[in-house]
Structure 1
Amino acid sequence: MIVHVTPRTEPVVIVGGGQSGLAAARAGLTAGLRPVVLHAGVEPVGSWPDYYDSLTLFSPARYSALPGLDFGGDPERYPSRDEVVAYLRRYAAGLDADVRTGVRVTAVRSRPDGGYLVHTDAGDELAAAGVVAASGSFGNPYLPVLPSQERYAGELCHVADYRRPDPYAGRRVVVVGAGNSAVQVAHELAGYADVTLATRAPVRFLPQRIRGRDLHHWLRVTGADLLPRPVLTRLVRHAAVLDTGIYRDAIAAGAPARRAMFTAFTDDGVVWSDGRTERVDAVVFATGYRPHLDYLAPLGTLDRGLPRQRAGISTTHPGLGYLGLEFQRSFSSNTLRGVGRDAAYVTAALAAHVSGRSRRRPAARRAAASGRP
């Protein structure tokens, strides 16, 4: 049941129309808010169409749905990129929310009355009672800079720009990274090119299936999927690649080979850690992403590009929330299977803010924070 909590006419603006933004829109409607989703792309499916062609989810369909809509089909399959795109289209179509595509948010500024002004690339201003930054990180790939990188004349890209292996056929390629995407892409390329996977430490693997069940079954039944970041980081010290054995066996067989990370570039290749140089046609960095939040810079809420927040709630600006951050509240926060829980949490806080329920005297807030009556 939808509970109406605020007489204010301003919407809560959700920046980003991918899985996080759509989950926020649904949760916002349930919380009695009036969400407006602003998405820069041509349709509200996030960055999924831009991922590499062979990408599949790491979790089965039964564990990969947003609140309110199952994936359908075989619940044990691992949905492909295109299946996820089709699923998000269905999800957006079923929302009774104002979803605007082709609208890029360029800046968010505070209003004197405590609300926000959201500026777009079309020159429009939208008054908002609150803002949810759900723009993800695909638009902000992290590309490390190594010595002499600017001299390298070969092809250098981030995995965000990689689509398929065909253009690399017959070439010498180095893939940098030790995560799921790096290993998947290096394995795929090894069927077409001479490939080395460059990592700072040996790749660690996590079994995809345990006692005949997918790992995500065990994460669900044990509650590990909900562990907060401080607990999880004590239990899991290093990132690991989900694997049925295919990737571990392939690397052991040298297809792709694995070497310690190179230390520098040359004009036409790389310098390996043992000092040897090698000609390399292309280097693909699978080195992750950073939150894409430059439009929040006018608020002063970013610290070296990262938001100052706790569990998705801004610690600097009331009425500002975040979704889709890695480890925002749990291991699954930035995934299809986990973002719905975070969306309910963040929008409940925003609903309390815009209705005035969260407004207390400063002394009372300080007392609550310290545990004093």
Structure 2
Amino acid sequence: MIIIGGGQSGLAAAWAVQRRGLEPLVLESGDRPAGSWPSYYDSLRLFSPARYSGFPGFVFGGDPDRYPHRDEVVDHLLGYAAHLGVEIRTRTRVEAVTAAGAGYAVHTDAGDQLEADGVIAATGSLANPVYPKLPGLEGFTGEVLHAADYRNPSSLAGRRVIVVGGGNSGVQIAHELAAVSDLTLATRSPVAFLSQRPLGRDVHFWFRTLGFDRLPPTVLQRLVRAPLVLDTGSYRVALETGTVRRRPMFTALDGDDVVWSDGSREHVDALVLATGYRPSVSYLRGLGALDEHGAPLHRGGISLTHRGLGYVGLEMQRSFASNTLRGVHRDAAYVAAAVATHAPALVRS
């Protein structure tokens, strides 16, 4: 069984495959099995406490109520990879997956062709950021960064910056930049906040207690109409006091100017686009497993087009927690069970 991607989703898939008596081979394009985590912005912390963010049989040490920093997560992933003891090939980028008899051939950038009875795609989305179609963006003469490329505020200090997007990343980055730059947060609707600690308990305690984490995506989409920003209070206060200035989305960019909805214009030095991501699975395009937009054709992580092909770590794959540290193992177990039925030759005797 070949697993493409060695971050949190790939390691969860390796755990699930291993539990079913199969030998997983994990292919990771980076130099270590930590996925996208080393590439996130410097100040990033988990939204969920350590007690809810570990792996089965491999929990975070230290204070269980703290919110681990990005680098702690990287170390945790590396430790978990060693704990699993599965074969992981780093610096191995998958270029394509093709059909080969009853199974698959996985083609790497080194020119290797690896045969597999089953494949699990677990490559996340950071490598495929969404750039929205903003009027005038192509001719904008300032700097354009996606949140995927943002690391810290130092390069934008003292400049006129607009952050586009009202989700967690957009609000966090805007809050950080407001201390060093002339900052505006541009969103299509007012920012919606969710208290990090309602009634004195972290919101993830309530998610687990009330079963919110396990609700199917169709139910969630009816309940939650807009992105919710987790907040201990500082972000809401920053917007209410004007420390972070928020304006309705601009209508156009013109050279190095932004045109606001009221017709006023302002010079802007840089845009930071916190506008989301799409699954990074272009290596499956030739297989015919994706729709016209490059999204997987699947139900709950099980391919609708090919037996023995599954996905782990897609947003809203089976629940609100599908692409999070606290929820990915549930999906991995579900997908591994389905994909394993197509890979009897790999079952250990």
Q: Report how far residue 72 of structure 1 moved.
A: 0.9
Question: Does the Cα contact within 8 Å between 1:61 and 1:78 map onto a contact in 2?
Answer: yes
Question: Does the Cα contact within 8 Å between 2:308 and 2:341 map onto a contact in 1?
Answer: no
Find runs of 4+ consecutive structure 1 residues off by over 6 angstroms.
none
2:188 is matched with 200
- The TM-score normalised by the length of structure 1 is 0.91
1:8 is matched with none
Higher-Rg structure is 1
In the alignment, the residues of structure 2 paired with residue 297 and residue 351 of structure 1 have an alpha-carbon distance, to the nearest angstrom, of: 23
- 1:48 corresponds, among 20, 28, 37, to 37
2:256 is matched with 268
Question: Does the Cα contact within 8 Å between 2:12 and 2:332 map onto a contact in 1?
Answer: yes
Question: Structure 2 counterpart of 1:276, which letter?
Answer: S
Q: Does 2:293 match 1:297?
A: no
Q: Report how far residue 318 of structure 1 moved.
A: 0.1
- 2:4 corresponds, among 12, 15, 30, to 15
**C-alpha RMSD over aligned residues:** 0.9
Deviation digits for residues 60-106 of structure 1 (CA, Å, limit 9, x no counterpart): 00001122210111000000000000100100111121100000000
1:63 is matched with 52
- 1:243 corresponds, among 231, 245, 252, to 231
In the alignment, the residues of structure 2 paired with residue 141 and residue 351 of structure 1 have an alpha-carbon distance, to the nearest angstrom, of: 31
147-156 vs 313-322, which moves further = 147-156
Q: Does 2:326 match 1:326?
A: no
Question: Does the Cα contact within 8 Å between 1:154 and 1:280 map onto a contact in 2?
Answer: yes
1:353 is matched with 342
Structure 1 residues without counterparts, runs of 5 or longer = 1-11, 357-373
Question: Does the Cα contact within 8 Å between 1:52 and 1:164 map onto a contact in 2?
Answer: yes
- 2:304 corresponds, among 315, 324, 336, to 315
In the alignment, the residues of structure 2 paired with residue 293 and residue 189 of structure 1 have an alpha-carbon distance, to the nearest angstrom, of: 32
1:135 is matched with 123
Identity, in percent, stands at 62
Structure 2 residues without counterparts, runs of 5 or longer = none
1:116 is matched with 104
Q: Report how far residue 223 of structure 1 moved.
A: 0.9
Q: Report how far residue 138 of structure 1 moved.
A: 0.3
Q: Does 2:152 match 1:164?
A: yes
Deviation digits for residues 242-286 of structure 1 (CA, Å, limit 9, x no counterpart): 011110000111121000011111111211111111100110000
Deviation digits for residues 140-195 of structure 1 (CA, Å, limit 9, x no counterpart): 00011212212211111101111111111111100000100000000000000110
2:207 aligned counterpart, secondary structure: helix
In the alignment, the residues of structure 1 paired with residue 256 and residue 307 of structure 2 have an alpha-carbon distance, to the nearest angstrom, of: 51
Question: Structure 2 counterpart of 1:351, which letter?
Answer: A
In the alignment, the residues of structure 1 paired with residue 55 and residue 99 of structure 2 have an alpha-carbon distance, to the nearest angstrom, of: 31
